[in-house]
């Protein structure tokens, strides 16, 4: 592994850098469900006995900052490369979730156009009883500009 990436991993992986509260609104996640093509009433109908957010809804919960405050900005163009969700328990309307974010992974791939740095930010979501209900990962890829 490249030395600069190793140093970033040593300094930033698994260290919480952001905590934020999310008020979960059933109207919002029902709209999300309908827009995405969900048809089951447990996701779309607030009167359903098992009404809950679709698992992928947690990807819409964005924290206060994307990266640690002192994170070195690699030179290049950043893009959203993907999102992952781990679901552990249903998320209901009206709950307040706490999202705690850390850098989960930092790695590189090298293509024809040069090195790409992948930054994976994980937000762990907890309910009011501190039950861990989901993880939401955002994977950002930075295509490095060749040095001049």
Partner 1 sequence: MSDQVNTISDVEFGCELPSFNPDTSLDNVKYFGEFVGWGGPRFTDHEAARKEGFPGALVPGVMSQGFLGAMVHRWAPAADIIAIDTVFRAPVLVDQTHHITGVVTDIDQETGSVEIDITVSNEEEETRVFGTATAKLPTS
Contact residues for partner 1 (CB under 8 A)? 27-28, 31-33, 35-40, 43, 54-57, 59-60, 62, 79-88
Least spacing, CB of residue 23 vs partner 1, in Å = 14
Output DSSP code: residue 59: G
Least spacing, CB of residue 88 vs partner 1, in Å = 8
Least spacing, CB of residue 13 vs partner 1, in Å = 19
Least spacing, CB of residue 109 vs partner 1, in Å = 12
Answer yes or no: are the C-beta atoms of 122 and 100 closer than 8 Å: no
**Nearer CB in complex with partner 1: 1/35:** 35
**Nearer CB in complex with partner 1: 7/131:** 131
Answer yes or no: are the C-beta atoms of 144 and 115 closer than 8 Å: yes
SS3 content of the chain, % helix, strand, coil (to 5): 20, 45, 35
Cα 63 to Cα 138: distance, rounded to the nearest angstrom: 11
Cα 71 to Cα 8: distance, rounded to the nearest angstrom: 8
**Nearer CB in complex with partner 1: 11/61:** 61
């Amino acid at each position: 592994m490249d030395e600069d990436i190793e140093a970033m991993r040593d300094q930033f992986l698994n260290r919480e850098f952001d905590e934020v509260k999310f008020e979960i609104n059933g109207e919002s996640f029902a709209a999300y469900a309908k827009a995405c093509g969900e048809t089951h009433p447990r996701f779309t109908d607030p009167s359903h006995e098992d009404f809950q957010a679709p698992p992928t809804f947690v990807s819409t919960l964005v924290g206060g900052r994307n990266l640690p405050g002192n994170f070195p900005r690699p030179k290049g163009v950043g893009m959203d490369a993907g999102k992952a969700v781990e679901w552990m328990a249903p998320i209901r309307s009206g709950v307040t979730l706490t999202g705690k974010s850390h850098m989960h992974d930092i790695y590189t791939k090298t293509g024809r156009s040069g090195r790409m740095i992948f930054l994976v930010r994980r937000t762990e979501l907890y309910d009011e009883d501190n039950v861990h209900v989901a993880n939401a990962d955002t994977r950002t890829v930075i295509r490095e500009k060749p040095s001049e």
